Structure 1
Amino acid sequence: MPSVNLRHSVRAIILNEDERILLCRFAIPEPAGTVVWAAPGGGIEPGETPLAALSRELREEVGLAVTTDPPHVWHQEVVAPGYAEGYDGVINDYFLVRTAAFKPRGTLSDDQLAAENISGLKWWHPREIASYAGADLFSPRDLASSLTALINAGAPSGPVRLGL
């Protein structure tokens, strides 16, 4: 089997006191018009630990400082051409961050966020995700059920493997 080049990323499941999750709105250029709501985070830079990358990404995208090591709750591997530009797919490791609700505003400018395809931030309740009937997608696709299970059962002893 040929080796695949996967982008290693970290993402935060940021939950507030009302069990709402903070998601980024990604307007993906190809296919045109694709909008995906996903947890904030991004690629791990060379020489960077996953938790250092998570801390950096959350500061940049939403303005949240992570002061403790959050539990690693989900692991996702997606091998799909075009899923991550320049890669054969992505590995996403998700960490649970609980916080009081806040107005998200990171250190990146609107232009810098747009360069990363981020066009908005929104707090969502799992019921809103489950009942959403619009054209936008969620990542992972089963976010509502995975999130509900996480809220109901708490952080697992090891990361749960997710699908696409």
Structure 2
Amino acid sequence: MFDHVFAELRHAARGVVLDGENRILLCRCVLPGAVVWITPGGGIEEGESAGSALRRELLEEVGLNFEGPLRPVWHQRLIGPEYAQGYDGVINDYFLVYAEAFEPAGRLSEVELAAEHLTSFRWWRLDEIADYQGPELFGPRDLAAALDELIAEGPSENPVVLGP
């Protein structure tokens, strides 16, 4: 196996937003060649903390003004230009966010959301993710297993390292 040094990885903060029924809020992201359901969130801007970035992204994308504590639950490192345009890959840090169910309506317009490749939002039950047989993907790919563990056991002391 080769050890590569990558010039630039995009660091992102993502929210594992769960409601009172343990449904997770996901964003439908349409990319060239794939449609992926992902957690809300995005890139951390220069001088911004992961927590500040996630709070900003939640407000912009889905309209959630979250003031509570953010608990890191998952960490993911993906290498390849397909993960973040203009970068060699991405580092995703996922934080647990509990919220009452709401109808996602962020501050970004439909045009701005489309520029972010986001087309819709949906609350998913764990069994719907685990049983899904359609052509669309979930990000991370092992979302059902990671979510099942998180719901059953609660957050671990250190973030769980996820695969692609």
- The CA deviation at 1:4 is 3.2
Partner of 1:99: 99
- The CA deviation at 1:82 is 2.0
* CA displacement 1:81-102 (0-9 Å, x = unmatched): 2211000110000000011111
* CA displacement 1:67-118 (0-9 Å, x = unmatched): 1221000000001122110001100000000111111110001111011000
Structure 2 matches for 1:119-158, cutoff 5 A? 119-158=119-158
**Aligned mates of 2:5, 2:92 — CA distance in 1:** 21
Matched, 1:26 2:23: no
**Gaps in structure 1 of 5+ consecutive residues:** none
Amino acid corresponding to residue 150 of structure 2 in structure 1: L
Identity of aligned residues (%): 52
**Aligned mates of 2:157, 2:98 — CA distance in 1:** 17
Partner of 1:3: 6
Conservation of the 8 A alpha-carbon contact between 2:70 and 2:97: yes
User: Structure 2 length normalisation: TM-score?
Assistant: 0.96
Amino acid corresponding to residue 8 of structure 1 in structure 2: H
**Gaps in structure 2 of 5+ consecutive residues:** none
- The CA deviation at 1:41 is 0.2
**Aligned mates of 1:105, 1:49 — CA distance in 2:** 24
- The CA deviation at 1:66 is 1.4
Paired residues, number: 161
**Aligned mates of 1:69, 1:4 — CA distance in 2:** 32
In the TM superposition, structure 1's runs of 4+ consecutive aligned residues that sit over 2 Å from their partners are 1-4
- The CA deviation at 1:42 is 0.1
**Aligned mates of 2:162, 2:64 — CA distance in 1:** 25
Structure 2 matches for 1:31-42, cutoff 5 A? 31=33, 34-42=34-42
User: Structure 1 length normalisation: TM-score?
Assistant: 0.96
Amino acid corresponding to residue 15 of structure 1 in structure 2: L
Conservation of the 8 A alpha-carbon contact between 2:6 and 2:88: no
**Aligned mates of 1:127, 1:88 — CA distance in 2:** 34
* CA displacement 1:28-71 (0-9 Å, x = unmatched): 1x22xx10000000000001111000000000000001112210
The CA RMSD measured in Å over matched residues stands at 0.9
